[in-house]
Amino acid sequence: MASGVPEIHYYEHELSIRRVIEESGLQDLDQALNICDLSSVEQKHRLWQRLLPRIRPYYAVKCNDDPVVVQLLADLGTGFDCASKNELKLVLGCNVSPERIIFANPCRPVSHLEYAKEHQVANGTVDNEFEIYKLHKHYSNSNLIVRFKSEAKEAQCPLGDKFGCDADVDATALMLLAKSLNLKVTGTSFHVGSGCSELEAYDRAIKKAKNLFKFGELLGYDMDLLDIGGGFPGSDDGKFEKISEIVNTSVERYFPDERVKIIAEPGRFFVAAAYTLICKIHAKREVRNEAGKLDTVMYYLNDGVYGSFNCILYDHQVVTAEHYLDEANSLPQFKSLIWGPSCDALDKISEDLLLPNLNRGDLIGFPNMGAYTVPIASPFNGFELPKTLYFRAI
């Protein structure tokens, strides 16, 4: 692994956060803490293999670059989608061979491209002519994967405004340009949008990919890589099953030839559900109505939107919370407004959770916090970032 061997705690049957809190003395903790269940990542990997056997996952490192998780996925045999030199470095440091990596950032600084070249990471996406000229100059024997735009009608984080060329006119023009420069186009890619809610979007995109394959073959290219991107859910396995059915049907229809290698770039699928963030209430205020009745309880936690909860701002995540009081079910619930620790009013985690009237020192847990949280968090206002405890089933 890239950075030391972490301590891994083992559990039987099911990971109980309540038991972890009791047994690890977390009640005394001053800082927020991530509980990472590595077995959840393994279970997701098994699910992927069962439902999408023809499609090899290339984990999108940007989603969570925790070296322990990256090493685990490397050991499980996944490939990796890297966006930068440092992500390439991290993955290569986990003993991953360059063929298992796609440099899936269509606009890379030259120094990052040179690093990829030095380490023989040959597959990379491209969606504009300037990048093609850049590749011609700096990495002319790389494999160009033309990324086209084909978005879902609904997604948590659409990506099409930033990346992906028009699938008809522009993609073919880019392929012609590549041909004229003696570059090698070997496939196509798309991303329907992260947190995709319009499942048919995959079928639409795979169909467009087929047309581009035909065009590439007309130009004499050996088109052998289809990359179906990300967009898979992190905690809704039922939805993942439906997406798998659509993708498998579409792949069978448009890409029956098994010589075409099909990959995907799942990020949140692998890691979202593996993390529970444990926060402590370090201050509270009670807001009463004119009649003096308790209306809202405001809690101030030791992590907020500048830290792990950046996913609320950037990933449009709606968080859910759990508490660990014994008599919880019998207690009255109150509208709870939850703030982060900084002196900034934007630092609001949630305003419509229902919780019993908790006290300073009580813990609140937030499940499904593994995607687009860890790598983006900042220690704004001097509040430290959470450490991570790793768990695994025996």
Ligand X SMILES: Cc1ncc(COP(=O)(O)O)c(C=O)c1O
Among 21, 268, 280, 341, binds ligand X (CB under 6 A): 268
Instruction: State yes or no: residue 370 binds ligand X (CB under 6 A).
Output: no
Residue ranges in 103-142 that form contacts with ligand X under rule CB under 6 A: 104
CB of 315 to ligand X, least distance (A): 9
d(CA 49, CA 143): 26
Extract the tokens encoding 38.
């590595």
Q: Which long-range contacts (CB under 8 A, 24 or more apart) does 134-138 make?
A: 134/108, 134/110, 135/183, 136/181, 136/183, 138/110, 138/113, 138/114
Q: What is the dihedral sign for C-alpha 267, 12, 321, 154?
A: positive
Helices then strands, each counted (H, E), the chain: 11, 19
* 267 is a site residue for ligand X (CB under 6 A): yes
Q: Is 343 a catalytic residue?
A: yes
Question: How far apart are the C-alpha atoms of 288 and 151, rounded to whole Å?
Answer: 46
Among 194, 250, 310, 317, binds ligand X (CB under 6 A): 194
Q: Check binding of 229 to ligand X (CB under 6 A).
A: yes
Element (DSSP H or E) covering residue 21? helix 17-24
Nearer of residues 148 and 383 to ligand X, judged by Cβ? 148
Q: CA-to-CA distance for 363 and 325, rounded, in angstroms? A: 9
The 65-104 site mask, x for binding ligand X (CB under 6 A), equals ----------------x----------------------x
266 binds ligand X (CB under 6 A): yes
Which CB atom, from 215 or from 372, has the smaller least distance to ligand X? 372
Q: Residue 269 CB, nearest distance to ligand X (Å)?
A: 6
Residue where the block lists tokens 């990829």:
116
CB of 127 to ligand X, least distance (A): 11
Classify strands 322-323 and 363-366 as parallel, antiparallel or unpaired: antiparallel
What DSSP letter does each residue of 102-140 carry, written as one string? Answer: EE--SS--HHHHHHHHHTT--EEEE-SHHHHHHHHHH-T
User: 233 vs 365, which CB is nearer to ligand X?
Assistant: 233
Q: Which stretch binds ligand X (CB under 6 A): 7-15, 110-118, 178-186, 262-270?
A: 262-270
Burial of 179 (0-12, 13-18, 19+ CB in 10 A): middle
How many residues interact with ligand X (rule CB under 6 A)?
16
Residue 232 lies near ligand X (rule: CB under 6 A): yes
Q: Could you say whether residue 212 binds ligand X (CB under 6 A)?
A: no
Stretch that binds ligand X, among 8-16, 109-117, 164-172, 267-275 (CB under 6 A): 267-275
Residues 305-344: x where in contact with ligand X by CB under 6 A, - otherwise, as a string: ----------------------------------------
Asked if residue 44 binds ligand X (CB under 6 A), the reply is: no
Region from 238-246, 259-267, 300-308, 348-356 binding ligand X, contact rule CB under 6 A: 259-267
Question: 372: which 2 tokens?
Answer: 């687009």
Residue 386 interacts with ligand X (CB under 6 A)?
no
Could you tell me if 106 and 163 are in contact, meaning their C-beta atoms sit under 8 angstroms apart? yes
By C-beta, is 159 or 175 nearer to ligand X? 159
Asked if residue 59 binds ligand X (CB under 6 A), the reply is: no
Tell me the sheet residues that pair with 286.
Answer: 297
Q: What letter would DSSP give residue 332?
A: P
Helix axes 85-92, 67-76, angle to 10 degrees: 60
- Helices 110-118 and 129-138, axial angle in degrees (round to 10): 50
Stretch in the footprint of ligand X (CB under 6 A) among 250-258, 261-269, 352-360, 386-394:
261-269
Nearest C-alpha neighbor of 278 from the set 361, 347, 363: 363
What amino acid positions are annotated as catalytic residues? Answer: 343
- Judged by the rule CB under 6 A, the positions of this chain that interact with ligand X are 60, 63, 81, 104, 159, 191, 194, 229-232, 265-269
